[in-house]
Amino acid sequence: MNRINQLFNSDKKDILSIYFCAGDPTLEGTAHVIRTLENNGVDMIEIGIPFSDPMADGIVIQNAATQALRNGMSLKLLFEQLRDIRKDVKIPLILMGYLNPIMQFGFENFCRRCVECGIDGVIIPDLPFRDYQEQYRIIAERYGIKVIMLITPETSEERVREIDAHTDGFIYMVSSAATTGAQQDFNEQKRAYFKKIEDMHLNNPLMVGFGISNKATFQAACEHASGAIIGSRFVTLLEEEKDPEKAILKLKAGLK
C-alpha cells in the first residue's frame, strides 16, 4: 500500500505536512531537511521543485524558488539527491511542482524516477483536471504515483465530487483563492468553506493548505480535515535559522 494511504488509514489525527523548496537555503541540504523533519515528528513532507514562475505561491516561496535555482537546483539533481532517501526515511514524500519542468523532463520518466526514489505522490498546481484524466492519469497509475488535486472555495461541488471519484491519496483543500502565505487566523467565511467540504463526506481524506502558520490556523484546519500543510512559515523559519532542526522546533512550538 502506498505510504500516503497507510498514513490516512492509521486513524492519526492532526496530521502535519511540511513543505520546503529543494535547494533552499542550500543546494545540498535537501536530504538533511527531510531527515530532520521526520526525526522531529512530521507526518508527511512536500518537496518543492523550484520553478521560475510559481503562480500559486506567494513571495516567500517565490523567493525560495529563485534562490534554489540560483544555487543550481534542477529536477535531475533533485532525483540524484533523493536516490538513497528511503534507506532510512519512512514517512510519505510528495513532490510539488509546476507542469513545465515536469513536461521538459518527460512525465513517464518523471514517474519512473519518483518510483526509484520512493516518492509516493505529486502535486502539480497548474495541471488541469481534464488533462490529468486524458493524458497523465494512466501513466501515474501505472507507476503507483498518487496525483493530488487541489480544490478552492471557487471549485464547484460537481467538480469536487469528480476529483474525489477519480483520484486517490488525499484532496488538497486550498484555504482561499489567493496565493500561499502565512495568516494569523481564518475568518468565518473560510471556516464555513472547510465545513461545507467536510460535510460532503468525500471518499478521500482532506488536508488544508495555504495560510497555516500558528496554533489558531492549524487547529481550525484540523477541525474539519485530517490535518494541515505548512509551507511559507517553515520556509521563512528555515531561511532565518539556517538550521532545519531549529526551524521545525520553533514552528512546532508555535502550534502548541
Which residues are identified as catalytic? 46, 57
Position 186, amino acid: F
- Rounded CA-CA distance 225/223 in Å is 6
**Is residue 153 classed as helix, strand or coil in its secondary structure?**
coil
Radius of gyration of the chain (CA): 17
> What does DSSP assign to residue 87?
G
Q: Is 72 left (phi over 0), alpha (psi -120 to 50) or beta?
A: left
Q: What sign has the CA pseudo-torsion 207, 132, 108, 68?
A: negative
> How many CB atoms sit inside 10 A of residue 245's CB?
14
